């Protein structure tokens, strides 16, 4: 086991706690086609980024409000099929409520719908896309979550799957960034695990099973 001393664990949602890839692909594919944009380019660009930021990159200013409303509605419609990443529900349920938070690039309604569909307890602290001015890779979300939990950022561990999220954790000055899944390999995490089956919490320590490491 690898042991990381920490006072809090700050989780990204999509790709870390929940597997929403199918819903993300379905909703953003529909959105891309509605704007005549290449589906593969759009669906590749959305990971770890707020919808409002993706829309701003791809849609002229006058059409952004309607475009954002469309993708928000379609993603919530797809949320019912969300499942949990292996090991995630068990890990979260083993954590005291005051030591974990969710920091997501999804809006609050979408994040709650996906967590509920996947069988998670409601987090006591969640920082969503609509709670911050600057989304990932800016550190705002992780700094806000650490503050809400009453811990120093350098005593927190961030668990992320995307390059933008890993960069946000780094910028927040957290103790360690744990990457999850293939997207996190070579994205700058301190270590990368296949899923959350190998993570365990003991008072003040996050234990990581070496057998689950990738890269």
Give the active site residue among 12, 19, 140, 195: 12
C-beta of residue 149 within 8 angstroms of C-beta of residue 131: no
Q: Clarify whether 195 is annotated catalytic.
A: no
Give the active site residue among 7, 14, 140, 195: 14
Q: Which residues of 158-171 are buried (b: 16+ CB within 10 A; e: fewer)?
A: bbbbbbbbbbbbbb
E strand or H helix at 170: helix 163-172
Q: Measure Cα distances from 90 to 36, 119, 121, 153, 214 in Å.
A: 42, 10, 11, 24, 21
φ/ψ bin of 87: left (φ > 0), alpha (ψ from -120 to 50), beta (otherwise) = left
SS3 148: helix
φ/ψ bin of 36: left (φ > 0), alpha (ψ from -120 to 50), beta (otherwise) = left
Q: In the 8-state DSSP scheme, what is residue 35?
A: T
Q: Clarify whether 161 is annotated catalytic.
A: no
E strand or H helix at 143: helix 140-149
Question: Considering only CA atoms, which of 153, 185, 191, 193 is closest in space to residue 169?
Answer: 153
Please list the active-site residues.
12, 14
């Amino acid at each position: 086991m690898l042991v990381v001393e920490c006072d809090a664990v700050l989780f990204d949602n999509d790709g870390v706690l929940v597997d929403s890839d199918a819903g993300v692909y379905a909703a953003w594919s529909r959105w891309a086609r509605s704007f005549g944009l290449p589906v593969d380019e759009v669906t590749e660009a959305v990971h770890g980024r707020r919808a409002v930021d993706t829309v701003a990159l791809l849609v002229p200013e006058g059409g952004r409000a309607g475009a954002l409303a469309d993708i928000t509605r379609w993603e919530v419609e797809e949320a019912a099929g969300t499942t949990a990443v292996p090991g995630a529900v068990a890990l979260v349920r083993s954590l005291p409520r005051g030591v974990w938070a969710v920091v997501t690039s999804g809006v609050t309604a979408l994040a709650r719908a996906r967590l509920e569909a996947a069988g998670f307890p409601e987090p006591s602290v969640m920082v969503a896309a609509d709670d911050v001015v600057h989304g990932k890779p800016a550190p705002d979300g992780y700094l806000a979550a650490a503050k809400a939990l009453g811990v120093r950022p350098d005593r927190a561990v961030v668990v992320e799957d995307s390059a933008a999220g890993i960069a946000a954790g780094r910028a927040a000055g957290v103790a360690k960034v744990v990457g999850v899944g293939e997207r996190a390999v070579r994205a700058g995490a301190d270590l990368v695990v296949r899923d959350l089956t190998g993570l365990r919490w003991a008072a003040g320590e996050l234990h990581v099973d070496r057998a689950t490491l990738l890269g």
